[in-house]
Structure 1
Amino acid sequence: MYRLKEAVVVYRNQNKTIVQLGTKKFTIVDEFSQFYKYITNGNLIDINTKKKTEKEYVNFLKKENLITESVKYVDDRFIKNEYFFEDINKHYKKSTYQDSIKKKHVIIIGLGGLGTIILQNLVAMGVMEFTLVDKDKVDFSNLNRQLYFTPKDINNSKVEVVQKYLFKYDSKINVNISKTFITDETIDEIFFGKEFDLIVNAADTPTNIVSIIAKRAISLDIPFITGGVGLRTGHFTNILSENKKIANLIKYQENNDRGKPMIGSISSTNMIIGSIMANEILNFWTNNKQCEQSRINYLNFENYHLECEEL
């Protein structure tokens, strides 16, 4: 049996019934409130009904993705996710997004202001296996924008601190760590013998870090995303899932070398870019149609204007 999706809103306006889900809004002429009564009476919806009028209602609800299988979600930390995935699901069958995300293995390179925010978002989404790469120890200067770290963690390894935190948060999360500083010579030891579903670059050193990792994404055929935060702007790519698109990024990086990283950085701008990158990842995992473009996006933090450059 089926029911309306949790986020569907239904109301009357004169002789019309209005049905809304997110930005989608449907206005149905319903003189005697028959359709309104059918979908608001609290009963489950039988998609195999033999009644002609009800069959028409069901066909409309299925076509517009307004109904879903009536299932009871487990009351755990993912229950809000399940309702979200239910609402964005492009099919009336039960969403499998949460189960799929739990099986992902993501490597995040760089646990600074950007990397820790992306990590926290992916943990909350339900990713259950990570490989975290960062050679640095926690410094007082990290505490203004980087999650997970406290003054008690100063001089301790970043990846070890995060690994311990995530074990306490959810002991089922598998966290692999590496203190390797990535160069052309050391990149092999990080990727050798491992399988990843996504590579996230949130590091800014060495200056050719993006090219080093992008080349490895091409050789292993793994989707890739990278980003960074400056003083007045932040940048991020969409998910690059085809080798040609990643190769275009390498050429772009070689022609647009921005030199050494800036020292100044603030929490709010890192939060913005990190969350956008996490949302790009979510969209990639939940959209059936992958992005056909390869681009790098620049967000102006003063006016929130977004500029996109094709790669």
Structure 2
Amino acid sequence: MQKDKPSEELTDRDKVRYDRQIMIKNFGEEGQKKLKSSTALIAGVGGLGSPVSIYLAIAGLGKLKIVDKDKVELSNLNRQILYRNEDVGKYKANISKKILKEYNPDIEVESFNQKITSENISDLARDCDLIVDCMDNYPTRYLLNEVCLEKELPLFHAAVSGMNGQATTIIPGETPCLKCIVPNPPPEEKFPVLGATPGLLGTIQAHEVIKYIVGIGKLLKNQLLLVREGTNFRKINVRKNPKCEACGNEQILK
């Protein structure tokens, strides 16, 4: 569950807009207040980041910080649902901010048209309550992992290839870190993706973020969810690696 922090009050408009999710058991107005008071860093607004940011925006998460250095390309449009034909050649960070504010004008969206590096990641994560890993390469994912360990922030990870994917929720001090789970990343190369696959995995990430903030449901902690061909789901237990170069000095988790 999210660390205690002051909650913003709901407006009459909030109570109407989010009425159907407020009705969920153990969610209520208090859960909506927690969402409204939260800030999430969305690392990458491509195939995964598009559905993640859209669903967090329409759920009423108070502030989204969007980071992406790329411009929209025609080949992105089979899976990156934030963008349209007319956006080709424009910066994703700029377009995504505009579109997300159209989805929900009541939230705050801050966009950063830059590459995530070891020099800027700490500043990007400042004042954030969590980070969502929507990247397509492991060197940057490992930077996210490091800053989450340093700042004790949860990391919501997903990755896709073809019609397959994986997802897990990483809580420093409670779960293995990303380096424990994926110590040897796949080679960096162009990989196939069916558009619905990141849509599915990104929606799972959004669910995990909302459950974490509100404090309901069972998170994917100490488990890696494997999705094969979109309909075959399997969870495997994951454990901390005591020799992990990122977090190996912590006590072994059971």
The answer to whether the superposition gives a TM-score over 0.5 is yes
1:243 counterpart = 2:190: no
1:264 counterpart = 2:201: no
Contact kept in structure 2, 1:214 and 1:246, CA below 8 Å? no
1:84 pairs with one of 5, 8, 21: 21
Deviation at residue 85 of structure 1 after TM alignment = 3.0
Deviation at residue 220 of structure 1 after TM alignment = 0.9
Q: 1:138 to 1:284 in 2, by over 3 A?
A: same
C-alpha separation in 2, matches of 1:130 and 1:307: 29
Give deviations 1:252-289, integer Å, cap 9, x for gaps. 322x3112254321221111111111111222223358
Q: Unaligned 5+ residue runs, structure 1?
A: 1-72
SS of aligned partner of 1:108: strand
C-alpha separation in 1, matches of 2:238 and 2:176: 12
Q: For this pair of structures, how many residues does the alignment match? A: 229
- What amino acid maps onto 1:168 in structure 2? E
Higher RCO structure (Cα 8 Å, ≥6 apart) = 2
C-alpha separation in 2, matches of 1:83 and 1:251: 38
**Residue of structure 2 equivalent to 1:208:** 139
Q: Which has the larger radius of gyration?
A: 1
1:307 counterpart = 2:235: yes
C-alpha separation in 2, matches of 1:98 and 1:141: 37
2:130 pairs with one of 187, 190, 198: 198
Give deviations 1:212-265, integer Å, cap 9, x for gaps. 111101111111111111113200112x22335253x223322x3112254321
- What amino acid maps onto 2:136 in structure 1? D
**Residue of structure 2 equivalent to 1:181:** 115
Give deviations 1:11-32, integer Å, cap 9, x for gaps. xxxxxxxxxxxxxxxxxxxxxx
1:104 pairs with one of 15, 28, 38: 38
C-alpha separation in 1, matches of 2:201 and 2:221: 20
Matches within 5 A, 1:150-169: 150-169=84-103
Q: 1:187 to 1:292 in 2, by over 3 A?
A: closer
Q: Unaligned 5+ residue runs, structure 2?
A: 1-10, 240-254
**Residue of structure 2 equivalent to 1:124:** 58
C-alpha separation in 2, matches of 1:109 and 1:263: 19
- What amino acid maps onto 2:130 in structure 1? L
Q: 1:291 to 1:280 in 2, by over 3 A?
A: closer
Deviation at residue 164 of structure 1 after TM alignment = 1.7
C-alpha separation in 1, matches of 2:61 and 2:86: 27
Contact kept in structure 1, 2:69 and 2:115, CA below 8 Å? yes
**Residue of structure 2 equivalent to 1:228:** 159
SS of aligned partner of 1:111: coil
Contact kept in structure 1, 2:200 and 2:230, CA below 8 Å? no
Q: 1:299 to 1:170 in 2, by over 3 A?
A: closer
Of all paired residues, the percent bearing the same amino acid is: 22
CA RMSD after TM alignment: 2.5
